[in-house]
Amino acid sequence: MRVLLSLLLLLLSALLLAAVGVPQPYVGRAARSAARCPPDAVLVPGGAFEGGATAEQVGLPEYQPDIVRDPRPRGEFLTVDFCIDRHEFPGEGRRPLADVTWVQARVACELQGKRLCSEDEWVQACGGPLGRLFPYGDLAVPGLCHADVFEEGAYDLVVPGGSVPTCRSPYGTFDQEGNLSEWVEGRRDPASTDRWVLGGTMWPGVYGRGCQARHAHPQVAPVSGDDGFRCCATPR
């Protein structure tokens, strides 16, 4: 009888604790990312976020090259939880891979069990929930990212991933501004064979700057020495 009574009291205590709620220990971002994401990727919680900008805000020059440069209008967008690589492919301390088509970038991600990021995922990871223009804020600050090379076409000046620790987004991704711009999954309408390349390169002109800049290239050719990529994945 005493055993039965003790079990009953334990059950009632458990029900009471569940009803009032017991504080759970805090689990930091690094631990959550390690538990749910591939190595060298960070977990970005889904939800609503701000994105988009004007041509002036991304610093587009007045002349128009034969490349579509079209930042999307400012608005609210939505994602679900996702993992994104902290660094441009192939990773920290290595020179990012450029001269790749959209198709090649997509295959490279799939070979790792990942995928190319959607435009929403890439922009949220770069600008955070408030839709910053740059990973570090809304005001361009020379030197915080590798985005101040005025010798256009100097592809040998691309730096290894993570070389500029100040070029870090609110979620802990690096080099989403400067260095290389990056392929994403999204297609440019109405051009069925054009895909978006996001972010500014190491050159401050031509394509625009920051998290909200984007331009388009054909998905198969030609390749460019300032276009790279990083991968995303669905969390475990």
Q: Where do the H-state alpha helices sit in the chain?
A: 2-20, 29-36, 102-111, 119-127
Residue 138 has a pLDDT of: 97
Residue 13 has a pLDDT of: 54
| Domain definitions of the chain by residue range | 30-233
Specify the CATH number of the domain 30-233: 3.90.1580.10
Per-residue CA distances from 58 to 34, 39, 72, 77, 84 (Å): 34, 32, 11, 19, 23
Residue 11 has a pLDDT of: 44
> How are beta strands 181-187 and 227-228 bridged, if at all?
parallel
- For 3-21, the pLDDT digits (tens) are 334 434 444 554 444 455 5
Q: Angle 202-205-209 (CA atoms, 0-180°, nearest 5)?
A: 65
SS3 breakdown of the chain: % helix, strand, coil, rounded to 5?
20, 20, 60
How far apart CA 182 and CA 65 sit, in angstroms, is 19
Taking the chain (236 residues) in runs of 10, the rounded mean pLDDT of each run is 43 49 67 93 97 96 83 97 98 96 97 98 98 97 94 88 97 97 93 91 89 95 91 97
Please choose, from the candidates 78, 77, 70, the residue with its C-alpha nearest in 3D space to the C-alpha of residue 54: 70
Residue 62 has a pLDDT of: 81
If you search the block for the tokens 């331009």, which residue do you land on? 215
